[in-house]
Structure 1
Amino acid sequence: MPSEALRRALTEPGEPPLHALPGEVVGLLEKLAAPPRLAAHLRAVHDVARTLTDWLEKQHPEVVFDREATLFGAAVHDIGKTIHREELSGPGSAHEQAGYELLLAQGIEEERARFARTHASWGADVGVEDLLVSVADKAWKAKRVTDLEQLLVDRLTVASGQPSWEVFMALDDVLDRIAADADGRLAFQSLHPVEG
């Protein structure tokens, strides 16, 4: 039975209203007795990933990517913080590999578990899905990372055949709209305790 604090983090609407996490992820967070703040954070990043995937499908229908894998990845990217709880309120990267191993141990296939590892370190070899999760993990709080965004622009430019500057301007526009609601998402996360 999940704690009341975790239940609230998983179900309260937030401002702006946040979408619910996938049922599979909710069950996993409850089973692991995840910290409420982690659940709130995962909801915020998942919600931004939904906005980005909606935008990508509309703006670049020619880009082939796995929407459901992206949304799952956003919903579990920091799950290793159920083990490394000190990283909920401080720096650290131990949660990345730990989260990957935790997901594998819970029966999640590698193709979906990988997001726990790839969300914070990206390179030319990661997929569009990984880049979207990484961008969502920054954009939810209005943080912009030029190198990361350029990797995504490069992928979309190749797939779409559009000029790079057009792709950049469109991405910049959607990230500005996402940033406008960052204070609400940050407030929602901070309402939920690290422990509970």
Structure 2
Amino acid sequence: MATARSFGSARRGYTLVEMMVVVIIAGVLVTLAVIGVRKYIFTAKTAEAIHMIGAISSAEESYREETGSYLTASSNINNYYPQTDLTPNKTKWAWANPAHTDYAKWRLLAVSANEPVQFGYVAVAGLQTDAIPAPGTAANFSSVAPTGPWVLIKAAGDQNDNGIYSYFVTVRGDGVSSAIHIENESE
């Protein structure tokens, strides 16, 4: 009497080539994920600058409605608030900074931030007869002559601490474009 043996049900392992293909595919997927997450992080950081420029613009418009002119909240075009060392870097700063020389002027604008900010901000205002200062950045920045009061708002930050700053510049007021000019967005 012969016994039936089943040879077809033996389990076969993975070959080295199959394992290498799986590892390569996993590596490609991880690389794509890292690139996507890094891009997302930089976009989130630049969103702060765009949001704060909008908040400062709104506050400046409210100030103008009450007084007839915009407020120069910064003592000069390179005096970034809320930093006290006047150099944008990777450090985050609390928005309310009484140690800053321009703190009282920024308080008049009543701009607030829910969290510490990484970018430094400048707001310099003038009348129609005043020249809009060169922001010291944004090679593509150009502004037409204003037909009334204006305010230049600039944000600067070194997002990855490599010494290259990201700049966001806009001019608001009568007869000027309110577009935000961006230089080195992910730096």
Q: Provide TM-score, normalisation by structure 1.
A: 0.24
Which structure has the highest strand share of the two?
2
Larger radius of gyration between Structure 1 and Structure 2: 2
Q: Provide TM-score, normalisation by structure 2.
A: 0.25
More contact order relative to length (CA 8 Å, sep ≥ 6): 1
Which structure has the highest helix share of the two?
1
